[in-house]
Chains A and B, each alone.
Chain A
């Protein structure tokens, strides 16, 4: 009898969360799935939707630009994750050693976290500006480049620039998690390695990296999922342009659904995005459960 009362209580406490998530996440998700098999086109009429089977999905893969969108997504996901992780790791290693004012430097390293992404874009677009940007000015003054570069519209510099800003905004999260990982490595491991004659380089590859592996794996999965669904970073920097040069799947879903109002088609692309993301989510869930156990 007691167990049953606890069960009722437990569900009761969870009920408000369940209702909100059901209304704003669960139900829309089901609708999105259903929409992806329909020809819902907002300019025609909201009600007039027909079941079109897999047409939307087939349509996407027949789009000559489909490979472009997928490649862009891969560049953003792989490049963004790699850049954030590498810089986060370097910062964590450097700020884990003995240093004057270490707490202060650590505080500086996480500052980008507190800057809203709109302001990040506002500031970096100004720094990277092709005409008035300080970066061009400095590079030319130093004699590194000959002329001014339009960083966010040049075909060569477009992705490096986006990834650089993305790394700037995302490295604090990596840094903080990796630093706490580093602090969890027992010191005597390094002592033992030193006695065995291993230099710092060897110690890094033989101790630090293997010990950090579980955390890095979780962070990579998380970062991949976040980059897959990210819309804002790309949109406020380039709006997916020039042309479609920096359009990844999330901005594509936006443009299809809310600029061309082809909501059925947009939902289908979104479902594809979710399926890709699901693969990584499953791995992520496995890891998190493994760690909790």
Chain B
């Protein structure tokens, strides 16, 4: 009898919290499915009626969304591939080779993750303007790669360290070079970890608004995270909020799919002392 009220309180608070967590998703989706005049109404309805896909049609025909969306795929995809490739190489060295200065390297990796981006981006902007990387997709990819590399290096290092050395040594005895042994033995074994880091870097770059905000000027070189924000700020965007919400839902979808598909690996990797932003 004494346990019952406690249980009720716990279930009630859990329901309230989960409702708070889920409601924005539900509200964004249902609002994106109603005609715009049903959005700006003093007596909002909980469910869309009539149901309409017009807002999604608007979104996929809106150049200010579609072009940056393509850029988002390009920038996030390439950043993920480059960051993980170079990161894996460095991580392998850190996990397997003995050389002086490793502790310093790890400390530097950990501290660069902590730097205030807004400070470093001022000179990056000036340098980019001078060397012609300002307002280019390559510039965005380079900056995002630099920002995600420390994370990739640290996490991949811990994956590689967790794998046994003996198989690799066996392969090296059998005539493989060090890199060959790495490619043939360690890489296939850590594929789950590598995919998790790739997806993490992809999702980070996908959502990042700061680099494009400072380093990309034209719509042709912006990513969707930024163009959605710009449309939100403009008066024209304000009048078609339903369309914007539809675009927002579409933009969330790829990240959400990756996240759900790889939830387990991501969570294991992320709880290993990494950071999210």
Contacts and interface: CB of A to CB of B under 8 A. Distances in A.
Interface of A: 3, 6-7, 9-14, 16-17, 20-21, 23-25, 27-29, 31-32, 35, 46, 87, 90-91, 94-95, 97, 105, 107-127, 132, 134, 137, 168, 171, 173, 176-177, 180, 200, 218, 222, 225-226, 228-232, 236, 250, 253-254, 257-258, 263, 266-267, 270-271, 273-274, 277, 280-281, 284-285, 288, 291
Contacts of A17: 86-87, 89-90, 149, 153
Contacts of B116: 228-229, 250, 253, 270, 273-274, 277
Nearest to B250: A119
Contacts of A277: 114-116
Contacts of A236: 209, 229, 232
A109 B126 contact: no
Dominant secondary structure of chain B at its interface with chain A: helix
Given A267-B122, A281-B114, A232 B210 contact: yes
Interface in B119-150: 119-127, 142-143, 145-147, 149-150
Interface string B63-93: 0000000000000000000000011011011
Contact of B93 (A13, A20, A95, A105): A13
A70 to B, nearest CB: 15
B117 interface: yes
Interface string B222-251: 000110110010000000010011001101
Nearest to B18: A108
B129 to A, nearest CB: 8
Contacts of A229: 114-118
Contact of A231 (B13, B17, B117, B256): B117
B92 A232 contact: no
Given A24-B142, A232-B210, A253-B118, A31 B123 contact: yes
Contacts of B244: 122
Most buried by B among A32, A118, A229, A254: A118
Contact of B86 (A20, A94, A116): A20
A232 B225 CA distance: 11
A82 B97 CA distance: 41
A115 B25 contact: yes
Interface string B7-28: 0001001100110111111011
A267 B124 CA distance: 12
Contact of A126 (B6, B228, B245): B245
B225 A116 contact: yes
B271 to A, nearest CB: 5
A105 B119 contact: no
Nearest to B107: A285
Contacts of A112: 21, 24
B8 to A, nearest CB: 13
B207 A116 contact: yes
A133 to B, nearest CB: 9
B174 interface: no
A281 B117 contact: no
A250 B17 contact: no
A250 B98 contact: no
Most buried by A among B27, B41, B123, B241: B123
B275 A32 contact: no
A222 B117 contact: no
In the A-B complex, the 6 residue pairs with the closest CB atoms: A270-B119, A13-B93, A24-B146, A10-B99, A116-B207, A28-B123
A132 B10 CA distance: 33
B136 to A, nearest CB: 14
B263 A7 contact: no
A114 B22 contact: no
Contact of B207 (A10, A16, A20, A117): A117
Contacts of A291: 273
Given A6-B98, A35-B123, A105 B90 contact: no
Given A114-B255, A122-B232, A127-B24, A7 B118 contact: no
Given A24-B146, A109-B21, A118-B228, A126 B241 contact: yes
B124 A24 contact: yes
B252 interface: yes
